[in-house]
Amino acid sequence: MDLVLEPLGTTIFIRALIASALVGIVCAVVGTYVVLRGIAFIGDAIALGVFLFSTINGYVADLFSFLLGNVLAIGPDDLVALVLLGGGVVLVVALLWKELLYATFDPLGAAASGIPVDRLEYLFLALVALTIVVSLQAVGIILVVAMLITPAATAQLVTVRFTRLMLVAALVGIGSSIVGLYLSYWLDVASGATIVLVQTATFLAALAFGPRGLLARRRHAADLALDELAAEARA
Amino acid sequence: MTTETPGDPVLHTHPGRSPHSHDDPLDASHAHAHADVWLSDVSAGYADRTALEHVTLAVEPGSLLAVVGPNGAGKSTLLKLMAGLLEPWSGRIEILGAPAGRESRRVAYVPQAELVDWGFPVTVEDVVMMGRFPRLGPIRRPGADDRRAVRDALAQVGMATHIRTQIGRLSGGQRRRVFLARALAAEPDLFLLDEPVTGIDPATQELLMDLLEAQADRGKTIVATTHDLATAAQRFEQVLAVNRTVVAYGPAGILLDADVLAAAYGGHVLQLEGRTVVLDDAHHHDDAAPGERHFHERGR
């Protein structure tokens, strides 16, 4: 229990915990749509995010923290900005998830029935850019792509319902942020990389054991083969 | 023996216009006021490729209209123009009494099955619920009414037991049923269906046509492209034959007219002992237009 409570004694750790949990959620929620539409366009969004980041924060002098982030360096003002921006992104998705879903799944059908598909496209690009702004300080530019994609990719191995998919992705995002930050504290290693590694481990576990994972598929295939054998035996 | 195309294959006149139709569907001044779908001298295409020229057309409310024609004739393009998905190069389009795209919440458009990403993590219920999204508007979540509408629509197409199934696990016929259910759940006044009965089993085809007929009887307007001339002749009320322009427009019976077929399908029509056979590859999909490709790639 001390292992969990001890780090909470320092405000730096608490701030880092809130920040990484938030980054985990924002990335997972936005990343769900990124995964569903393929990631061909993500380069543009990253460029826009980096551009915004450099204008908002002034250019980050430290290349290392720009690339890899440093969640422990997040100050009180940073955290407020993070909560506002990240909360804003999640709020927009919460209000427009239906329209974003329809436009992603069937852009023709959506546009024909009055969903403003083109405007949603730009809005979504802006959301990804803001997500990157929010995440840069915590995990850096290299790891933000992993943060965007891994939770949703994991969730796809668990469920086929869209609303659950997003929920599972958000849980994976927030869970691995908290676990990863603690691990990095105990093991004294880089926090961003640890968070992403926890996500990767979750993904691999889902890939192996998830209801749509490899074992489930093999079991399904085996069932089919058994059925066939049984049918042949009867015949 | 092959029937030769009589003269210019792109006919600007309308030889198949039926003597049975008492009011002229193409008389603009009259038709305009009544039509759910109205096009006046419309030309359109993709980039540098012309798909349709000089299309003039009026579709009355309650019509059950099949759009037929060979591959690349512009059937899908015509549907996209009606849906407001494509701007015409010239001419005017009015849908449900307003410029195309304005009354879009009263329109349900179902794309070709080939354009849908079937691996997408959505269930049958998710897809049909999308039909309710436009009327809900942003912010509002689907409520009990919407769930009831989804269940009703799925019951109508006989898919009520598959409500939790991921769409990729469905057969081709089931997929078409689900997309028709989405259109039904939207409760539109105009159905625009791109190849709704292509490549599906006869039972599903019958069911879908029965449902469309029932909608037409209730005054809804249905416009569907099809490769299937037999279905068009037997199950639709009107037929529009296109080949870059309107070749013929009238009651479905005009499809029995060899001249109409010859005009629509060019030289690919055979007369065999009184039967007319169209040499058209029904499963090869035309219209790999840049616009479509674009959407397709973005879908996945």
Picking from A33, A41, A91, A98 by the largest number of B CB atoms within 10 A of its own CB, the best residue to mutate is: A98
Average pLDDT, rounded, for chain B: 81
What's the pLDDT at A40?
Answer: 61
Q: Is the pLDDT of residue B39 over 90?
A: yes
What's the pLDDT at B133?
Answer: 94
B256-281 average pLDDT score: 62
Q: Nearest residue on chain A to B166, judged by CA atoms? A: A160
Which ranges of chain A have pLDDT less than 50? none
Candidate from A98, A99, A108 with C-beta closest to B111: A108
B223-267 pLDDT tens trace: 999 988 888 888 999 999 999 999 889 898 887 777 777 777 765
Read off the pLDDT band of B22 (50, 70, 90). Answer: very low
What's the pLDDT at A217?
Answer: 75
Candidate from B83, B116, B120 with C-beta closest to A112: B83
Distances (CA, A) of A187 to A73, A173, B266: 18, 21, 76
Q: What's the N-to-C CA distance of chain A in angstroms?
A: 62
Name the interface residues of A facing B (CB cutoff 8 Å): 36-38, 40, 95-96, 98-99, 101-102, 104-115, 156, 159-163, 165
Helix extents (H) in A73-190: 76-105, 107-112, 117-156, 162-187
Q: Nearest residue on chain A to B82, judged by CA atoms? A: A112
**B64 token code pair:** 């059950």
Q: Is the pLDDT of residue B5 over 90?
A: no
CB A103 within 8 Å of CB A176:
no
ipTM over 0.85: no
State the smallest CA–CA distance between residue B263 and chain A in angstroms. Answer: 31
State the smallest CA–CA distance between residue B102 and chain A in angstroms. Answer: 8
Measured between beta carbons, the chain B residues lying within 8 angstroms of A113 are: 104-105, 107-109, 131, 133-134, 186, 188
- Radius of gyration for the alpha carbons in chain A, expressed in angstroms and rounded: 20
Strand B107-110 to B190-194 pairing: parallel
Q: Which helix (H) or strand (E) holds B135?
A: helix B133-136
Picking from A36, A104, A105 by the largest number of B CB atoms within 10 A of its own CB, the best residue to mutate is: A105
A159 and B130 within 8 Å at the Cβ level: the answer is: no
pTM: 0.82
Three-state SS at B62: coil
Read off the pLDDT band of B284 (50, 70, 90). Answer: very low
What's the pLDDT at B221?
Answer: 96
B123 and A160 within 8 Å at the Cβ level: the answer is: yes
Between A133 and B268, the more confident residue is A133
B148-205 pLDDT tens trace: 999 999 999 999 999 999 999 999 899 999 999 999 999 999 999 999 988 888 899 9
Domain spans of chain B, in order of start = 28-113+188-293
Q: Nearest residue on chain B to A116, judged by CA atoms? A: B134
The mean-pLDDT minimum among A55-69, A140-154, B77-91, B100-114 falls in A55-69
Distances (CA, A) of B288 to A194, B195, B291: 46, 15, 8
Measured between beta carbons, the chain B residues lying within 8 angstroms of A108 are: 80, 83, 85, 109, 111, 115, 295
**B109 token code pair:** 């458009």
The DSSP output letter for A48 is H
Burial A48-81 (b: 16+ CB within 10 A, else e): bbbebbeeeeeebeeeebbebbbbbebeeeebeb
What's the pLDDT at A1?
Answer: 63
What's the pLDDT at B278?
Answer: 60
What's the pLDDT at A20?
Answer: 93
Three-state SS at A232: helix
Q: Please give the Cα distance from B137 to B143 (Å, whole number).
A: 12
Q: Please give the Cα distance from B80 to B67 (Å, whole number).
A: 13
Q: Please give the Cα distance from B272 to B292 (Å, whole number).
A: 37
CATH 3.40.50.300 fits B28-113+188-293, yes or no: yes
What's the pLDDT at B31?
Answer: 56
Candidate from A111, A115, A160 with C-beta closest to B133: A115
Q: Is the pLDDT of residue B15 over 50?
A: no
Q: Please give the Cα distance from B123 to B164 (Å, whole number).
A: 5
What's the pLDDT at A102?
Answer: 94
